[in-house]
Structure 1
Amino acid sequence: MKKTKPILILLICTLFVAGCTEQKILERISITTLLGYDLEEEDKVTTTLTVRQVSPDDKSSLETQSNTEETSNGTSIKVNLQTSKKIMAGQLRVLLFGKKLAQDSIEQTLHTTMMNSEISSSIYLAVADGTTKEIIEAQYENITDIGQHVFNLIDHNVEEQHSVSSTLHEVVRNNYSPFRDIAMPIIKKEGQIIKINGLAIFNKSKMVGELSSEDAFYVIMLRDKFKAGSVELSLPGNTLNHDRDQDDKLEVSIDSIKSKRSINLTNPSTPEFDVTVDFGCRLIELHSNENTGRPEVTKKLEKAIGDKMESEISRIIKYTQEKNSDIFGFGDDYYASVRNSGLTEAKWHQMYPNMKVNVKVNIEIFRNGVFE
């Protein structure tokens, strides 16, 4: 009898817990996977979302809902009034911001999303090149589920390190960090194709500039370690053959095997940083007849690729300084390196545009081509 008492108590507690849990029967709810916010005139917000309806016979269908109100929460209430089933955000995969809203501020929308306990912190956030409504409501010949398609598009490119990761957790962390700013992918619709078309950079909660999708390679190089990724480079035409014109282009394609970067503060008063990137790569394509198996040819390529990358990284850092958007977290490094600096968010944003950065990229080509 003594042994059965604990088991009986456990069963009773389980029944009570199960009875208190809100039941979410698929046939009685609508599941949203993609949500978009656009800024309208008079500061109103349009919410557009994809909704999956599941019928009692296990068939499902997709539809879009849209409404405009004063706030994002107000539009959500109006959208619920347009559907016969309660809209649940537990399966949300991607949140899109229209460019106009992103340039105005994503602060309120970000706060509302963060406070919603249904929404996972692992959802992706991105900026639409134009409005989110035109992306979500469009008819596509080869896309059956726009929400899942956009999620797969972002997730695949993040995994391959062609684009920065911008989960809700990462964006909220950077938004509330006093010394680091947000970067997230830009999604663009071109006819029947949806693609990642660049990188939006922010000063706190406002989008202040754009980088190309090719520039994302260098942003990732400074923000993280490379484990994948590839890039095409145009080197001077006389890199391997001095008889060729320098203005001609030598096209090179490489992919990354490994990279490591270090950022060291050398002068707190300027401030001045030394950025060093050690980059091991594989040469996968070269528009030249030169024998890349010769050490002297490899050395010339390593030097030229390093110089090109240094130039590109310096250009991108300068652009972020012009926009006062510290997407690399130099402010975090400064704060960690200088004791009793009294550094504040406002003070760092005064210092960042005048910061000096010395970039050094060390290239090592491990293998040439696929078969070596």
Structure 2
Amino acid sequence: MNSLKVSALFLVAVMILAGCTNQKILERTSLTTLLSYDKAEDDKITTTAVIRQINPDLESKVEIQSATEATNRGGLVNIELKTSKKIGAGQLRVALFGEELAKSGLNDFIHTLKMNPEISNGIYLGVVEGDAKSLIDSSYKNITDIGQHIFQLIDHNIEQNHALSPTLHEVNRDNTSQLANFSLPILKKEGEYIEISGIAFFLEAKMVGRLPSQDLLYAKMIRNDFSDGALELAIPSSTIESFSEGSDKEVKIAIDSINSSRKIKLVDKTVPEFDFTLNLEARLLEIHSGLRITTIEEEKKLEKAINKKIESELNRVIQYSQEVNSDIFRFGEHYKAQVRKANITEEKWHEMYPEMKVNVTVKTLIVRDGVFQ
């Protein structure tokens, strides 16, 4: 009986204490789903917030507010003055940066975001071609909630292996690493739509280069193992002897259901030099009607042509990262892991990285032949 009384008293005490806590009532709070930052005149920052307002009938509307101040925090305070409810950051999904600001450096913004206890480290970061405010504050015929739309756009393309994951956690990890750099997707307004137009390369948290969206899957192949994906390739028509004479010098093919696994082996620590081996399993999804693959030998020739093409593209992407000296592929971390007692600084690695040599080998296996005749 004494035990029951103690338990009951404890339960009552918990209920009383819970009732005394500072509760955030949804009707009194605005939910910020997206924040963007742009460089303004006089070293000021334009902060733009996409805010979802909830009314007592649980109906919601989206409003966009902007402010230009000397600091990010000052901009948010100014935005608070324009809203009738407290702005909460607990539902923040995306933070975007204008291209000019990205080129000047994002260290302070990454630090501010990661230090805010309300913000999840799983939010996505991205760069906008031109001005981020213009992209957000434009009118879109088929987009009612711009914050949720951009979040779903990035999330969907990560799932489809069309983009590298740019969460705050991953970006902060690479930004604080001495031997790696981070990348962000680039967004662009295209008429009535928003699209991912490329990948931004960063060095010391400053945007130093970019590649188009067509190279995103190649970047993914270098950086991660993955399953599922699609790729269009142009291979020499001479690959298959049965191809019609007088045709174009190149023929387009499409492969999908790609499963990739890679192996990175350091073979010379002084250069440094790596052997990069990529194993692909793919289905031939589309091929020119003039091609007839009727034998195992022709299938192997096609696989070799795919290997050669992908090797060329991977070499090009790696070499570009060396040109801008942005190691988004974490070769420096592979170097450190494979060199015993490696005592290498950030400065030393970025002296070595442009001179790094990578021997790329691709091994493709076509696992289905539904289009073969």
TM-score class normalised by the smaller sequence: over 0.9
Distance 1:292 1:71 in 2: 63
Q: Distance in 1 between matches of 2:22 and 2:318?
A: 50
| Distance apart, 1:321 and its partner CA | 0.3
Note the C-alpha offset of 1:34: 1.1
Structure 2: runs of 5+ lacking an equivalent? none
Query: Would you say the 8 A contact 2:286–2:371 is kept in 1?
Result: no
Match of 1:152 in 2: 152
**Other-structure match for 2:256:** 255
Establish whether residue 296 from structure 1 lines up as the match of residue 293 from structure 2. Answer: no
Alpha-carbon separation, structure 2, partners of 1:71 and 1:185: 24
What does 1:324-343 align with in structure 2 at a 5 Å threshold? 324-343=325-344
Q: Deviations over 1:133-183 (max 9, x none)?
A: 011111111111111111111111100111111111111111111111101
- Tell me which residue corresponds to 1:26: 26
2:236 aligns with 236
Quote the Cα distance in structure 2 between the aligned partners of 1:34 and 1:148. Answer: 8
**How well do the aligned residues superpose, as a CA RMSD in angstroms?**
1.8
**1:313 and 2:314 equivalent?**
yes
* Cα drift, residue 245 of structure 1: 6.7
**Does structure 1 retain, via aligned residues, the 8 Å contact 2:93–2:151?**
yes
* Corresponding letter in the other structure for 1:51: I
Residue 112 of structure 1 aligns with an amino acid whose one-letter code is T
2:201 equivalent in structure 1: 201
Match of residue 73 from structure 1:
73
- The 8 Å contact of residues 285 and 369 in structure 1, kept in 2 or not, is answered as no
Q: Is residue 2:136 matched to residue 1:136?
A: yes
Does the 8 Å CA contact 1:279/1:362 hold for their aligned counterparts? yes
Contact 1:290 1:297 in 2 (8 A): no
Shift of 1:59: 1.8
- Change over 3 Å in CA distance of 1:26–1:293 after alignment to 2: farther
| Residue 252 (structure 1) shift | 0.7
CA drift of 1:200 comes to 0.7
1 CA distance for matches of 2:200 and 2:179?
A: 18
Q: Does 1:163 align with 2:163?
A: yes
Q: One-letter code of the match for 1:47?
A: T
Could you say if the C-alpha distance between residues 369 and 226 of structure 1 is closer, same or farther in structure 2, counting changes exceeding 3 Å?
A: farther
Change (3 A) 1:245 1:123: farther
Contact (CA 8 Å) 1:166, 1:183: kept in 2 or not?
A: yes
> Which consecutive residues of structure 1, in runs of 5 or more, have no partner in the other structure?
none
2:244–2:291 Cα contact (<8 Å) kept:
no
Q: What residue in structure 2 maps to residue 190 of structure 1?
A: 190
How many angstroms apart in 2 are the aligned matches of 1:262 and 1:348?
21
Quick one: structure 1 residues 334 and 247, their matched pair in 2 at CA, closer, same or farther if it must change by over 3 Å? farther
The Cα of 1:185 is off from its aligned counterpart by: 0.8
Residue-by-residue CA offset, 1:41-99 (whole Å, 9 max, x unaligned): 22211001111111112221111000011111111111111111111111111111111
Q: Please tell me whether the aligned partners of residues 230 and 258 of structure 2 are also in contact (alpha carbons under 8 angstroms).
A: no
Question: What is the identity, as a one-letter code, of the residue corresponding to 2:341?
Answer: N
Which amino acid in the other structure matches residue 338 of structure 2? S
Q: Aligned residue for 1:87?
A: 87
Alpha-carbon shift at residue 246 of structure 1 (Å) = 9.2
Number of aligned positions between the proteins? 372
Please say which of residues 64-73 and 21-30 is displaced more in the overlay.
21-30
Whole-angstrom distance in 2 between the partners of 1:102 and 1:16: 49
Cα distance in 1 between the residues matched to 2:295 and 2:126? 45
- For 1:298 and 1:331, locate their aligned partners in 2 and report how far apart those are by CA, in whole Å: 37
Judged with a 3 Å threshold, the aligned counterparts in structure 2 of structure 1 residues 276 and 13 are, in CA distance, closer, same or farther, namely farther
Distance 1:180 1:69 in 2: 32
- Rounded to whole Å, the distance in 1 between the matches of 2:204 and 2:283 is 37
Distance verdict in 2 for CA 1:358–1:371, change over 3 Å: closer
Structure 2 residue aligned with 1:111: 111
1:6 deviates by: 3.7
TM-score by length of 2: 0.96
C-alpha distance in 1 between matches for 2:139 and 2:61: 14
- Please list the CA deviations of residues 300-344 of structure 1 after superposition, one character each: whole Å capped at 9, or x if unmatched: 110000000100000111100000000110000111111222101
Post-superposition offset of 1:20: 5.1
Distance between the aligned counterparts of 1:323 and 1:244, measured in 2?
Answer: 43
Structure 1 residues 170 and 11, CA, compared in 2 at 3 Å: closer, same or farther? same
Distance in 1 of aligned mates of 2:10 and 2:260? 53
Runs of 4+ in 1 over 2 A off after TM superposition: 12-17, 19-22, 241-247, 288-294, 368-372
Tell me, in whole angstroms, the C-alpha distance in 2 between the residues paired with 1:32 and 1:358.
47
Contact 1:250 1:288 in 2 (8 A): no
Specify the SS of the correspondent of 1:238.
helix
Give the residue type in structure 1 aligned to 2:313.
Answer: E
Deviation at 1:244, TM superposition (A): 4.8
Conserved? CA contact 1:293–1:368, under 8 Å: no
CA distance in 1, matches of 2:93, 2:199: 19
SS at match of 1:308: helix
Secondary structure of the equivalent of 2:227? coil
Secondary structure of the 2:122 match is coil
What amino acid is aligned across from residue 343 of structure 2 in structure 1?
A: G
Aligned to 2:176: 176
Query: Which residue in 2 is equivalent to 1:45?
Result: 45
Distance in 2 of aligned mates of 1:196 and 1:29:
32
2:112 and 2:17 mapped to 1: Cα distance? 29
The CA deviation at 1:237 is 2.4
